[in-house]
Structure 1
Amino acid sequence: MHTIELPAGPLKYRTWGPRSSTAHPVVFLHPVLTDGRLWTNVGELLAARGVRSYAPDWPLGAHVAPLHPDADRSPEGVAQMVRDFLDRLDLTDVCLVGNDTGGALTQFVITGGEPRVSSALLINCDAFTTFPPFPLNAILAALRVERLAVLVATAMRWTPLRHSWLGYGLLSRHLDPTLTRDWLRPARTDPAVRRDLIAFLRAVDPERLDDATHRLADVDIPIEVLWGMADRCFRPALGRRLARAVGTDLREVPGARTLLALDAPEEVAEAITALRPVL
């Protein structure tokens, strides 16, 4: 685990793969209330292929290093943190991989102009005005209120509830109780982390994402769309619409839900490496 200081605050991140890799690096963007450990299986698969990858704990509620009090916690502010991360580590020819909220952040990064990014993979993610989708919009709306955020995080300490359709069970078939408990602990126990999460959720604006999604067709880098077809939140129809907007074919993963890094890590690693020949 590494830590670097960015203008918005400290950022912890994990890495896999050889430092001396000649393959283009991969940077992962995770959803709200998860952290970089989501990508462990994918990172290890890529490492076996000689690819160096990076999985920061973005300030989306499961992070343990709160932002500075004056930091911009909006989606665009976190997208700027992505750019600052790439600059700080001097990463070039990067493949950005975003899932769920991380897919929305990826769209903000690449449509805002980022020369260090040369390809992107969008996985079951927010797009157009679906930000967030039903029924996650109702759950995340509750988390915008301090006392309700504490109440929800506390109730989710009970694994059967946390892994039910009211929690992470909606998003994956392959959940580790220890990992999902860890994901909720910072928001439950640290007021500064809750501040970051609440500010981010309050700043979510579907119209701004809709503008970014429609501008993807003008981005001159390869973009692919990978979709778990059993997703109850980000429905296959949204994936197909996003693929059309990008100008690519939808890569379908039957039986997988939102968190493909857990449900289908091999397919994610394959989709990432498939982008490499055109970089």
Structure 2
Amino acid sequence: MDRRSFLAASAGVAVSGMLAGCASRMASEVAPGGAALDAAAFHRARRYAATRFGNIAYVERSSGPAALFLHGFPLNGFQWRGALDRLSPYRRCIAPDFLGMGYTQVAEGQSCVPEAQVEMLLALLDALSVSSVDVVANDSGGAVAQLLAARHRDRVRTLLLTNCDTEYDSPPPALLPVIELAKEGKFVSEWLGRWHADRALARSSEGIGGMCYADPTQPTDEAIDTYFGPLLSTQQRTDNAHAYAVALEGNALAGIGPDLRRCKVPTRIVWGMGDTIFSAESPRRLDHDFGHSRGVRLLKGSKLFWPEERPDVIAEEARQLWNAWVPTNGRGSR
């Protein structure tokens, strides 16, 4: 399917969505059978999959074809709570915590490099009896998503990328001070620890809020607790978080361009143009590099972690992309 066909299909999706009626629109707002996912509900829903990489924490909602949500740094699957609420009527939504992040229990001696994250995800999908997924990704999760799509194309149906690493911007210069602090074993205590203790600071221009969110009320107190609490809870978890950060120093996407051009996974790019972490040129480059790009949508003013603030946009773009992917003989239009 070329870009013109994708746009026509997307228009058809929009029309059919208008005709679906009030009940369908209401279903898209909250997952069936429950209220929106707050932190307490998210914690209750958390499960663990035993793998050789460790016990992988994940939250899963609904059934049917699976969608995999890959979070940013230093967040975890809670980043996608709004998207899970809106998209679980249409997919079996799975939001794992990466090795070194969130509530995943990393096996002793296990690497946290992006390539290991890819293999961990494959093990998780196997443990959950999932053969292929629609992937939605943000930030460093986007780098892992690109590796997954390029090297394991049979496991990825579609790819929705938001602000993230590219071959030309990995790691972005803004991340280098974080990496250096992580090498010294100081990042978690000096940054995350201070933000965890002082929520106003976390939401200020000097905190993660001002750096990565457009809304000055973000991240919420419960998000701060859910993101930073586990990384501060034990020395092992702190060490794993530092290992995750240090692993971002090497460009895991170096040389991936030809693989992306050969990749037939339908890929959509949605980019917050208020982002001060990644290059403003990145969405154009991703659009050029992916052989089956479905184009770019630019969000004025939105910053790196906009998917948490604007889950309606994620839901809209994901459903259009998923509906434009037409199965043929059990496989996609690749």
For the criterion TM > 0.5, the same-fold answer is yes
- Per-residue displacement from partner, 1:210-250 (whole Å, max 9, x unpaired)? 32255211112111111112212123321121112115321
Please say if 1:53 is aligned against 2:93: yes
In 1, are the aligned partners of 2:131 and 2:155 still within 8 Å (CA)?
yes
Please say if 1:97 is aligned against 2:142: no
- Per-residue displacement from partner, 1:104-134 (whole Å, max 9, x unpaired)? 1111212222422111111100111422323
Which whole-Å CA distance do the structure 1 matches of 2:227 and 2:54 have between them? Answer: 20
Match for residue 256 of structure 1 among 274, 287, 302: 302
Which whole-Å CA distance do the structure 1 matches of 2:238 and 2:284 have between them? Answer: 34
Which whole-Å CA distance do the structure 2 matches of 1:140 and 1:178 have between them? Answer: 26
In 2, are the aligned partners of 1:144 and 1:202 still within 8 Å (CA)?
yes
Q: Residue type of the partner of 2:90?
A: G
Which whole-Å CA distance do the structure 2 matches of 1:85 and 1:58 have between them? Answer: 11
Summarize the Cα distance change of 1:243–1:84 in structure 2 as closer, same or farther, 3 Å threshold. Answer: same
Please say if 1:271 is aligned against 2:320: no
Match for residue 123 of structure 2 among 74, 84, 87: 84
In 2, are the aligned partners of 1:28 and 1:36 still within 8 Å (CA)?
yes
Match for residue 56 of structure 2 among 11, 35, 48: 11
In 1, are the aligned partners of 2:268 and 2:296 still within 8 Å (CA)?
yes
Which whole-Å CA distance do the structure 2 matches of 1:205 and 1:243 have between them? Answer: 24
Structure 2: state its 5+ residue gaps.
1-45, 326-331
How far 1:82 moved relative to its partner?
0.9
Match for residue 272 of structure 2 among 222, 228, 232: 228
Structure 1: state its 5+ residue gaps.
none
* Match in the other structure for 1:163: 203
1:166-185 to 2 correspondences below 5 Å: 166-169=206-209, 170-172=211-213, 173=215, 174-185=218-229
Please say if 1:112 is aligned against 2:151: yes
Q: Residue type of the partner of 2:152?
A: G
Q: How many residues align?
A: 273
In 2, are the aligned partners of 1:120 and 1:223 still within 8 Å (CA)?
yes
Which whole-Å CA distance do the structure 1 matches of 2:78 and 2:143 have between them? Answer: 19
Which whole-Å CA distance do the structure 2 matches of 1:86 and 1:225 have between them? Answer: 24
Greater shift, 249-258 or 99-108, is seen at 249-258
Secondary structure of 1:70 counterpart: coil
In 2, are the aligned partners of 1:129 and 1:206 still within 8 Å (CA)?
no
* Match in the other structure for 2:22: none
Q: Residue type of the partner of 1:6?
A: T
Q: Residue type of the partner of 1:9?
A: G
How far 1:188 moved relative to its partner?
2.1
Which whole-Å CA distance do the structure 2 matches of 1:148 and 1:120 have between them? Answer: 31
Which whole-Å CA distance do the structure 2 matches of 1:262 and 1:252 have between them? Answer: 16
In 2, are the aligned partners of 1:27 and 1:55 still within 8 Å (CA)?
yes
1:31-42 to 2 correspondences below 5 Å: 31-42=72-83
- Per-residue displacement from partner, 1:68-114 (whole Å, max 9, x unpaired)? 11222211111111111111112133111110010011112122224
Greater shift, 96-105 or 83-92, is seen at 83-92
Which whole-Å CA distance do the structure 2 matches of 1:146 and 1:206 have between them? Answer: 18
Q: Which has the larger radius of gyration?
A: 2
Secondary structure of 2:274 counterpart: coil
Greater shift, 37-46 or 178-187, is seen at 178-187
- Per-residue displacement from partner, 1:129-178 (whole Å, max 9, x unpaired)? 42232323323431232144323232222112212333321111242122
Which whole-Å CA distance do the structure 2 matches of 1:164 and 1:140 have between them? Answer: 22
Secondary structure of 1:208 counterpart: coil
Which whole-Å CA distance do the structure 2 matches of 1:270 and 1:29 have between them? Answer: 18
Instruction: Give the structure-1-normalised TM-score.
Output: 0.90
